[in-house]
A and B are shown apart, each in its own frame.
Chain A
């Protein structure tokens, strides 16, 4: 039985190679068959030439035998290769192929008719064309799909990495103000859809003092995020060495100006709070001046000239100012993501609305006010997308009672 199996297997393999395959062998076989079809049809014409020499007639007859042999071989292989044999045998293609050879085996039929019938096999030419076209289209589609898949994968990877970077950027922002008697502070940063450069910082300094930073980097995306990290680290480091806000900003500006390959700028408001006295010393580098709410509800911006945005120009000076907080005073630091939040009618939230919000609701916990402001901005903006980071710090200073001092 074994030899029969291997013959069976061999025949199937041959059918697969010559009929089903897309490789060189199948294509060559197909071309040979087509050439024979064409020759076979042409030979009808040659045959009808009167006075054809004997050798020619004989040659044609031999050719006919060869052709029928090849076509029969092909026909058998097609049946073997066909997934549904009967379907193939009775299909148009199958019948045409059979008609092309059958009459040869049936006696008393004029071979010229047989050969004419072979014209039908020319339909195979068309079929080959379509087949080749389909193959090409299928190949190109498969190529495109593969390339698309690669692109989508790459894009998804970039998105994932950027998302991680963004989370890191937000995660490194300090969550809370360091505990100090008499101080209640809250902060919030709501990132915009693209990577931005807003940041805030609380820095523990000597003698219980606390440095507060509110900053905004120009531009967007990865360069802004990078510069934000550099600016924050630089300020933190300098704050531990220079106890004057103005000097701190001036030195930070020098360092940032010198390492600024992307030509970015950062606005910085930096203040140092003495929690026992309520004195706030501050300097401003191009940032929105914070708002101060007194217990009676009045709100005003911290005044005092500021210096230039950091990173733009060497040798800039940052004048220093100070304000003495009174019991119940609230300081609100913000970035222009709040005041420049636009609604669908292209109106900006503006400073007036912010002041109104602070005036009306600024007498509760710091975190309450932060929440209220954020909600107010969100309600105002409505469906309009958030184009800029929204960053806020609220600091309430309740004078430390004498009894609680160490």
Chain B
């Protein structure tokens, strides 16, 4: 099992640091580059949701990302200590709607669900925990 963890404050400028962290993990775990973008996208969508919904006046949430590679499965867990927020409870966008009727938001979680194998959310004490898993190739 290869495990790595990173903690950053939940502000938009930190996204590149998290992407770097993911990139480092990808190369040290010797994973196929082709699937990197899927995880990069999922990480961004989860993180930006936290940034948008997790801030309280005068307080930026702490975000912890952990990556665990066991066998052919990669598990990414993103935790934050912001107010309760379950991104999976957001209504999915109607992707069959026409140009004018398409809602502008809600695509992030939808995309994660499409490209990842499984997503789950738990509220643990004062933390939001979102976990994403996907089969990867080495």
Contact = CB atoms under 8 A, between A and B. Distances in A.
Indicate if A touches B (C-beta under 8 A).
Answer: yes
B90 interface: no
Interface string B51-77: 000000000000000001011110101
B138 to A, nearest CB: 11
Interface stretch (A6-14, A110-118, A280-288): A280-288
B1 interface: yes
A177 interface: no
B27 interface: no
Interface in B87-138: 117-118, 120, 129, 131, 133
Interface string A205-237: 000000000001011000000000000000000
Contacts of A267: 1, 70-71
Given A306-B71, A308-B75, A313-B118, 7 more contacts: A218-B70, A263-B129, A265-B68, A308-B118, A309-B68, A312-B68, A315-B118
Contacts of B118: 308, 313, 315-316
Given A286-B73, A312-B75, A218 B120 contact: no
B75 A219 contact: no
B3 interface: yes
Nearest to B132: A313
B70 A286 contact: yes
B64 to A, nearest CB: 10
A389 to B, nearest CB: 12
A378 B74 CA distance: 30
Contacts, number: 56
A250 to B, nearest CB: 14
Contact of A314 (B71, B75, B77, B120): B120
Given A286-B70, A309-B71, A313-B131, A265 B120 contact: no
Contacts of B75: 265, 308-309, 312-313
A97 interface: no
B71 A287 contact: yes
B77 to A, nearest CB: 7
Contacts of B73: 286, 306-309
Interface string B1-27: 101000000000000000000000000
B3 A312 contact: no
A218 B3 CA distance: 8
